[in-house]
Structure 1
Amino acid sequence: MRSYLILGMSILFLIHYFIETQWLQYSLVIVALLAFFGSVTKADRFPRIVGLIMMGVGVITEWSKGTGGDGISDGIILILPLLCLLTLVPLLAIPLRLSGFFESISLLLQYLLHQPKKLYTGITGTLFILSPVLNLGSIKIIHEFLEDLKFPSAMTAKGYIMGFSTAIMWSPYFASVSLVLHYLDVSFNEYILFGISLGLLSLIVGNILFAFWIKRHPLALGDPQTGQMDKKIRKQLLKLILLVLILLAACLGIESITHWSMMVIVCFMSIIVPLVYGIITSDWKRMLPLLVDYRDRTVPMMNNEIMLFMSAGMLAFAMKGTTVMNGVSSILMSIANLSFFLFAVTILLFVLVVSYIGIHQIASVGVLAMQLNPVELGISNVALALILLLSWSISTALSPFSGLNLMVSKLAGVSGMKEGLRVNGQHVIIFSVISIVIISFVK
């Protein structure tokens, strides 16, 4: 039943985007709240408690502002694009799985198995390509190929977290990029080159640091593989890269023509791509079990995300314009007038500290994106977007409460606190300093 509620909420949102009627909005809010409270008993303990607290504080704050039910309704509607994105994007994994791309990735990693530096590049590079489309599912796929190899936990944590966190800064299929660009009214066309450049920079810095790390921690995996990799594997990998580029180009093209929200475009792409794949290949017999699995297992397992995303979005919307956030804005404006570098560092630390409390970046970054005025700060919308997304990426990599760290801590067998600060702290500091310097030229 919850699966149909969540899917129904997503479809209703897409309809509401084009047909804005009062009764449809109220229906959408009711379905969204039913999905939220339906996830309460199924969510893990921590997301459930934090989600209920954030939702409660958000509702009380919005009510105290005098907006009542309309304000609460607007707050929920504002975060629904992200929930729709979260729900529908996993559909893209179906054609990727059926096309044999995952098997090619497995063979690539096996080929690089006895070359630690190249293997690390293969892991992080694969995550750079897959994460924008498959989200955390990309880590699960990579780990299935590597879990029996007994790599050092530090290497696993470094590779997974660094490779995944790059997508947070540039992928339109991620909630981070869609949310920040939406709130700051920045088109994806205008942002993509800057965002993907920072993602590649993170990849380069991480691989350079790993080259130094492996010298201090030699990893004996046997003799290097001889001979060239099978042409069929290389061809499949090139097809995968081409497919990701086509998906990005399609999103850019549709946005420039229609001027629709990128979140809406990505939602439609997530539905259309599997549908087109099914029509072209007529492989419905193999697709049907995966679609049933998506409905019966993937969607119902989104309890934690629904609790955290909806409640954090409600809290961010409610905090906008409050005395507290007006005070924060004034302080940040004063800092920006003194030094752009200091301003950027302050944003990074603010988002990181809040994430360490357990509050999702949707709340902290969301409220900053809604509250801060780039003109008053003396910077461009793109520069502010880059700072906020850099903050989101870094806090995701370091916070022990982020979904990324919680997953990797289980897979790598290290605590979220250790894998965040000790394992990835050096990479985060170096990458942050270089990024802020680069962004200062964009402002």
Structure 2
Amino acid sequence: MRSYLILGMCVLFLIQYFLGLEWLQFVVVGLSLAAFISSAFKANLFPRWLGIFMMTAGLVIEWEKGTGVEGISDGIFLILPLLCLLTLAPLLSIPLRLGGYFESIAVLLRNLLHQPKRLYAGITGTLFLLAPILNLGSVRIIHEFLEEIKLPSLMSAKSYHVGFTTAILWSPYFGSVSLVLLYLNISYKDYIAYGIGLSLLSLLVGNILFAFWEKAHPLADELAPVIPLEKSHRNQLIKLVLFVIILMVSCLVIEILTHWSMIVIVCLVSILIPVVFGVVTKGWKQLIPPIIDFRDRTVPMLNNEIMLFMSAGMLAFALKGTSAANGVSSFLSQLAHQSFILFALAVMLIVLCITYIGIHQIAAVGALAMQLNAAELGMSNIGLALLLLLVWSISTALSPFSGLNLMVSRFSGISGVQTGLRANGLHLSIFALIGIVIISYIG
């Protein structure tokens, strides 16, 4: 029943986007609140109470602003595109699973086990391609491939973090990019080159630092022998790369032709890809089990995400225009006119402090994206988007409460603080400084 409630919310949101019916917006908001309440009973203890706290705070603040039911409806409706993206994007994994791509990835990684530096590059590169489509599921899949090998904890933590966080910077299938570009009114076609450039920089820095780390901590003797990579697997890997490229190009072309919101485009593409796969392969019977699994297992498991994302989005919307938010905005504006580097470091510190205690990036970065005006800061919208996404990426890697850190901590057997600060602190510090300098030139 909860699955139909959540999926109904997504379908009605997409219909409302194209029809623009005001009464339908209230219906969608009502469904989303019902989904939030039902998720509260199933969510884990921490996200449940944090979500209730943020949602309550957001509702109270918005009501105190005098906007009433309409303001609350607008605040919840603003975060609904992200919830739809979160719900529908897993449909993209169905063609990958049915197409046998994961088996080829496993063979590739095992083929690199005798060469730590290439294995690290293989893991981070694979996550660069898979994370935009599979989100945290990509980390779980890679770990399953390598679980029997028992890689050193720090190597696992380093490779998973560096590979996964690149997607936060460039993928339209990630809530970070879609949300920031939506709030700053930036088209994806204008942003993509900058986002991919920053992601590749992160990969480069991470791989160079690992080469130095591996030199001081030799791993070659601990790893397995070579497994030949057959031609069929090479072809599958090439198809995987082409699949990702086609997905991104399709989104860009649709955006250019229609000027629709990128989040809406991604949601529609996520629904259409399994259909196209069924048409091309004529494997409709193959699609039924994974679609049923998506409905019965994947969607109902979104309790924590619905609690955190919806409540954080409501809180971010409610904070806009308050005296506290205006004070922070004024302070940051003054810093920006004195020194861009000081401004960027202040933004980073604010977000890190907020996310380090467990509040989601949507609340912190979302509030800043809605409150800050790029022109008043003396920079472009693209520059501000890059900075906010850079901060989002770094805070995801550092916060012990982020989904990434909780998962990697469980896989590697070390604490969330160690996976963030100890394993990746140097990489994040160097990447942050280089990123800030580059963004300062972009403006």
Residues 5-49 of structure 1 deviation map (CA, whole Å, 9 limit, x = unaligned): 110000010001011222211110110000000000100111001
Aligned counterpart, 1:356 = 356
Q: Distance in 2 between matches of 1:441 and 1:224?
A: 46
Within a 5 Å distance, the mapping from 1:16-55 to structure 2 comes to 16-55=16-55
Does the 8 Å CA contact 2:88/2:267 hold for their aligned counterparts?
A: yes
Does the 8 Å CA contact 1:115/1:224 hold for their aligned counterparts?
A: no
Does the 8 Å CA contact 2:399/2:420 hold for their aligned counterparts?
A: yes
Which one-letter code corresponds to 1:225 in the other structure? V
Q: Are residues 1:196 and 2:196 paired? A: yes
Aligned counterpart, 2:428 = 428
Within a 5 Å distance, the mapping from 1:96-135 to structure 2 comes to 96-135=96-135
Aligned counterpart, 1:93 = 93
Range with bigger deviation, 68-77 or 279-288: 279-288
Aligned counterpart, 1:278 = 278
Aligned counterpart, 2:222 = 221
Q: CA deviation at 1:407?
A: 0.9
Aligned counterpart, 1:377 = 377
Q: Are residues 1:14 and 2:10 paired? A: no
Tell me the TM-score normalized by structure 2: 0.99
Aligned counterpart, 2:333 = 333
Matched positions, count: 442
Does the 8 Å CA contact 2:110/2:226 hold for their aligned counterparts?
A: no
Which one-letter code corresponds to 2:148 in the other structure? D
Change (3 A) 1:205 1:61: same
Q: Distance in 2 between matches of 1:303 and 1:223?
A: 39
Q: Distance in 2 between matches of 1:222 and 1:32?
A: 49
Aligned counterpart, 1:71 = 71
Which one-letter code corresponds to 2:311 in the other structure? S
Q: CA deviation at 1:168?
A: 0.1
Which one-letter code corresponds to 2:272 in the other structure? I
Q: CA deviation at 1:343?
A: 0.8
Residues 314-352 of structure 1 deviation map (CA, whole Å, 9 limit, x = unaligned): 000000000000000000000000101111111111111
Q: Distance in 1 between matches of 2:351 and 2:284?
A: 45
Which one-letter code corresponds to 2:129 in the other structure? I
Change (3 A) 1:310 1:223: closer
Q: CA deviation at 1:222?
A: 4.9
Tell me the TM-score normalized by structure 1: 0.99
Q: CA deviation at 1:224?
A: 5.3
Residues 137-159 of structure 1 deviation map (CA, whole Å, 9 limit, x = unaligned): 10111011011111111111111
Q: CA deviation at 1:223?
A: 6.8
Q: Distance in 2 between matches of 1:207 and 1:38?
A: 43
Aligned counterpart, 1:56 = 56
Q: Distance in 1 between matches of 2:103 and 2:324?
A: 52
Does the 8 Å CA contact 2:149/2:223 hold for their aligned counterparts?
A: no
> What's the C-alpha RMSD, in Å, of the aligned pairs?
0.9
Q: Distance in 2 between matches of 1:365 and 1:101?
A: 35
Q: Distance in 2 between matches of 1:349 and 1:308?
A: 21
Within a 5 Å distance, the mapping from 1:132-171 to structure 2 comes to 132-171=132-171
Change (3 A) 1:223 1:367: closer
Which one-letter code corresponds to 2:150 in the other structure? K
Residues 269-297 of structure 1 deviation map (CA, whole Å, 9 limit, x = unaligned): 00001111011212122211111110000
